[in-house]
Amino acid sequence: MRTLWQHRLLRVMTMVVTVLAACWGAWLALIPLVATDVIRLDARGYGILLSALGVGGLVGVLAVGPINRWLGRRWAMFADILGTAAMVAAPVVSTDMWVVAAAAFLGGMGGTLWTVNSRTISQRVVPEEMLGRYNAAARLFGWGALPVGAGLVGLLAEWFGVRAAFAVFAVATLALVVPFLRTVTPAALAEVPTGHAHHDR
């Protein structure tokens, strides 16, 4: 925890992924209700909607190398903020299955871009003897945010409606833009050691 907190880049990356993970928890918890009651999908349509998320993740795996070379690591990671924002905002602005599915695709793709790049950064920044404990601390925030997001979106949906609940998470995601761009700068990334990353533990 001390290693995570004392390194500004790692600290902000952990904050960002905590909010993004909460959004994922919210989306996964509420999308069945949206699909059945708002978009009124049948089982086939719901399958397509969920598959879009997984296909996006697969495309992200295949494309992360070219995207990193084209946009750079910073903008590849930033794409996850925009993709997650689109994923949680789509049910607010549209009841079209294809719009929601396309946004889920972007969310899934962005999630993979973030995971690959952030893991590479942390493996190169964190001392090898601390890496296992650092990963455990970082994942406490990321994985821990999933049920928090699911519970919070349920309360918001109960009190204010489904669209308002998703809108709160969309705003929260967009609020990450400024701290991300101020912290994950070209200069900060230039200080990340190059060479082979440590093996993940």
Model confidence pLDDT, tens digit, residues 59-105: 999 999 999 999 999 999 999 999 999 999 999 999 999 999 999 99
CB of 109 within 8 A of CB of 60?
yes
Average confidence (pLDDT) over 20-36 = 94
Is the pLDDT assigned to residue 52 strictly greater than 60? yes
Taking alpha carbons only, the member of 9, 18, 4 closest to residue 179 is: 9
CB of 65 within 8 A of CB of 117?
no
With H, G, I as helix, E, B as strand and everything else as coil, classify residue 158: helix
Instruction: Tell me how far apart the alpha carbons of residues 27 and 187 are, in angstroms, rounded to a whole number.
Output: 34
Average confidence (pLDDT) over 52-62 = 95
Q: At what angle do helices 131-160 and 97-125 cross, to 10 degrees?
A: 150
Return the DSSP state at 198. P
Q: Which residue has the higher pLDDT, 5 or 12?
A: 12
Is the pLDDT assigned to residue 201 strictly greater than 70? no
Structure tokens belonging to residue 137: 């601390």
Spell out the residues 6+ positions from residue 200 whose beta carbon is closer than 8 angstroms to its own: 119, 123, 131, 135
> For the segment 115-151, what is each residue's pLDDT rounded down to a tens digit?
999 999 988 888 888 888 888 988 899 889 999 999 9
Split at pLDDT 50, 70, 90, the class of 108 is very high
φ, ψ for residue 198, nearest 5 deg: -65, 155
The pLDDT of residue 26 = 96
Q: How far from 53 is each of 17, 60, 162, 186, 191, CA to CA, in Å?
A: 18, 11, 20, 30, 33
Average confidence (pLDDT) over 7-29 = 94
CB of 60 within 8 A of CB of 111?
yes
Q: How far from 181 is each of 10, 31, 79, 90, 101, CA to CA, in Å?
A: 14, 30, 12, 24, 28
Is the pLDDT assigned to residue 37 strictly greater than 80? yes
